[in-house]
Structure 1
Amino acid sequence: MLELRHISQNYGDRVLLQDINLQVAAGEIVALLGPSGSGKSTLLSIVAGLQPPLKGSVWFDGQDITRVPPERRHFALMFQDFALFAHLNVLDNVAFGLVEQRLAKSDARARAARMLERFGLLDHARHKVWTLSGGEQQRVALARALITNPRALLLDEPFSALDAELRQGLREEFCRHIAAAGMATLLVTHDEAEARAMAARGVRLVDGQLRAAW
């Protein structure tokens, strides 16, 4: 279980997050809603370990990981722009996290190929990522996130650049894989319809505090 305990953060003189408490169970998707500038992405960055909170702590499975660096948390963070590596082909984008974990490159590529087959992308393995459609790039990003067997998945507006029909298909695909992998998932979005389609529980960030959305 992912837990946020009494998280607070300021942006200059402005109180951005104030005493945030949240629990996300394994296999659960919790949607975090709120307008631009409300602190959603900041909270996600704190969970990922990219910035420390002013106050409070981040816990996972009963352990305080607040001071654990991002690479040791074994979380996957997916951005709205996918953050794929343009200089690498599709196969090496997916294999990247395994290589960073010091798995032999040949073994990493073999596992990446199996993951691409699972997503129907094996035929694109040797293509540069910038030659793919938006939906294909998003599936590459998801494959790259899942291949390292992350303990939690953090999604920051992952479908905002895609058209409505493609978004619906990918939402369903994400939900299937999240449930199968049993990952605690925090979905940041300003789109309530999208949030309700994916998450059984939603919270809203208002004036620095969390309120139940449904």
Structure 2
Amino acid sequence: MLELRDIRKQWDHRQLLDGVSLSVVAGETVALLGSSGSGKSTLLKIVAGLDQPESGSVWFDGVDITRLPPERRGFALMFQDFALFPHLNVVDNVAFGLVEQGVRKAAAREQARAMLQRFGLGDRGTARVWTLSGGEQQRVALARALITQPRALLLDEPFSALDATLREQLRSEFRERITEAGMTAILVTHDEQEARAMAQRAWGLQGGQLVALW
């Protein structure tokens, strides 16, 4: 279980996060909604270890990870720009995290091909990522995130760059994959329809505090 305990953070002399507490269990997706500048992405970065709270703590499975660096948390992040590596083909993009963990490149590529097959991209392994459609790129990004079996998946406006039809298709697909993997997930979005399609619970971030939406 992922827990945020009384997280506080100021930004530009304003209390951006004012005692935020939240728990997310394994297999659950929780959505964070709020206007631009409300602190949603800052909170996600604190969970990821990319930013530090001024006070409060982040826990996972009963262990305080507040000061743990991002690479040791075992979390995967997905942003709206996909962050794929343009110099690598599709298979090597997906295999990258495994190689970084010390898996031999041949074995990592084999696992990546199997993962791409599950995502309907088995025939795209040797393609360059810039030749893929937006939806295909997003599936590659999700495959890359899931292949390392992360303890939590953190999603920051992952579909905002896609057209409406593709967004709707990928929402249900992502929810299915996250549930199947049994992982904790936090979705940051400004789109309530997206939140309802993907999350079991949703919170609004208003005035630095969380307000339960459903």
Task: Work out whether the TM-score is over 0.5.
Answer: yes
After TM superposition, list the pairs within 5 Å mapping 1:7-22 onto structure 2: 7-22=7-22
Identify the residue that residue 134 of structure 1 maps to in structure 2. Answer: 134
Counterpart Cα distance in 2 of 1:9 and 1:49:
14
Structure-2 separation of matches of 1:121 and 1:91 = 10
Superposition pairs of residues 37-186 of structure 1, within 5 angstroms:
37-186=37-186
Q: In the alignment, which residue of structure 1 is the partner of 2:24?
A: 24
- Counterpart CA distance in 2 for 1:36 and 1:12 is 15
SS at match of 1:122: coil
In the TM superposition, what is the alpha-carbon distance from 1:107 to its structure 2 partner?
Answer: 0.7
The structural deviation recorded for 1:148 is 0.2
Shift, 1:163, TM fit: 1.1
How far apart are 1:12 and its partner, in Å? 2.6
Give secondary structure in 2 for the equivalent of 1:124.
coil
- Listed as ranges, the gaps of 5+ residues in structure 1 are none
Name segments (4+ residues, structure 1) moved above 3 Å. none
TM-score for both structures, normalised by structure 1:
0.99
Q: TM-score, normalised by structure 2?
A: 0.99
Three-state SS of the structure 1 residue aligned to 2:83 is: coil
Q: Residue type matched to 2:118 in 1?
A: R
Q: What is the deviation of 1:34?
A: 0.2
2: distance between equivalents of 1:14 and 1:80? 26
Structure 1 counterpart of 2:194: 194
Alpha-carbon RMSD: 0.6
Deviations 1:71-105 (A, max 9, x none): 11000000011111111110110000001101111
What secondary structure is seen at the aligned counterpart in 1 of 2:123? helix
AA of the residue aligned to 1:199: A
1:58 maps to amino acid: V
How far, CA to CA, are the matches of 1:198 and 1:127 in structure 2? 29
- Could you tell me how far 1:70 is from its partner in structure 2? 0.6
> How many angstroms does 1:64 deviate by?
0.4
Alpha-carbon distance in 2 for matches of 1:131, 1:11: 39
In 2, Cα distance between the equivalents of 1:150 and 1:90?
A: 20
Residue 187 of structure 1 aligns with an amino acid whose one-letter code is L
Report the Cα distance in structure 2 between the residues aligned to 1:99 and 1:200, rounded to whole angstroms.
33
User: How far, CA to CA, are the matches of 1:197 and 1:119 in structure 2?
Assistant: 19
Amino acid at match of 2:175: C
Matched position secondary structure for 2:10: strand
Q: How many residues align?
A: 214
Q: What letter matches 2:116 in structure 1?
A: L
Paired with 1:103 and 1:47, the residues of 2 have a C-alpha distance of 26
Give me the whole-angstrom Cα distance separating, in 2, the residues matched to 1:63 and 1:100: 24
Distance in 2 (CA, whole Å) between partners of 1:102 and 1:8 is 36
Between the two proteins, what is the percent identity of the paired residues?
A: 70
Gaps spanning 5+ residues in structure 2: where?
none
Q: Quick one: which amino acid aligns to residue 70 of structure 2?
A: P
Distance (whole Å) between structure 2 residues aligned to residue 17 and residue 70 of structure 1? 20
CA distance in 1, matches of 2:33, 2:12: 23
Q: Which amino acid aligns with 1:22?
A: L
Deviations 1:94-125 (A, max 9, x none): 00000110111111101001000110112111
